[in-house]
Amino acid sequence: MALFPASHWRARAACLGADPEIFFPVGEPADPFDVRNAAALALCAVCPVRATCLAEALDRIPDGVVGGMTAGQRRAYRAHVARRAAPATAPAAVPAAPEPERVPVPAPRPRRRVAATGTDGTSPRKATRAVGVGLLDAGEPWRKIAEQLDVSLRTVERWAAWHGTPRPAYVRPRLHPFSAKEARRMGGSAPRRPTDLARRVEAAS
């Protein structure tokens, strides 16, 4: 008596009439190259309905060698299909780094130029000149006065001329009436080197 009708796919299976024990070896090794799975896999390799058998085994048969796969192979295949079917989850959003707190920078205040004054309310120039004239009266050397008050020797000369102090012998007279800066201010130019006439005048003095 036939177990399945002729139209059923099981009636054309290569394992029909084989010993069922060869499809459930001892220990049910998952490795398809294990010698205990060799007989069952050999039948599945030549089975004409292997694909249909495997589809049913993946659906409802958890154990044994069915459809050309061991139980371990079918479990791995079902897990692979489940991972492929699962929707892709977006990676967790990385929180953006907080922006550094901006400290407002106060606008610089306009600097006021406050003119320094002397003890008696005079301007700095007048106070310096008063000190210089006092040092001239005391007989201090002109160069020392210029260094002490941080002025040029020409400025000390002007103080002396304004105060009527005679020129000391160790101060060399100027070879030309104006300095280069004063000459440029007046629109002319001053000689950079003393002329021969100026050298003779200087030698004679």
pLDDT digits (tens, 9 = 90+) for 80-89: 888 888 776 6
pLDDT digits (tens, 9 = 90+) for 153-187: 888 888 888 777 776 655 555 544 445 555 555 55
Lowest-pLDDT range of 12-16, 43-47, 74-78, 174-178: 174-178
Q: Which residue has the higher pLDDT, 41 or 185?
A: 41
Domains and CATH numbers, the chain: 9-84 (no CATH), 122-171 (1.10.10), 173-205 (no CATH)
Q: Which residue has the higher pLDDT, 35 or 100?
A: 35
Q: Residue 130 — φ and ψ, nearest 5°?
A: -65, -40
* Residue percentage of the chain with pLDDT more than 90: 2
Tokens representing 131 are: 């000190």
Reply yes or no on whether the pLDDT at 194 is more than 70. no
| pTM, 2 dp | 0.40
Q: Considering Cα of 149, then 151, then 154, then 160, what sign does the dihedral take?
A: negative
| Dihedral of the alpha carbons of 138, 143, 147, 152, in degrees to the nearest 10 | 110
Q: Residue 112 — φ and ψ, nearest 5°?
A: -95, 130
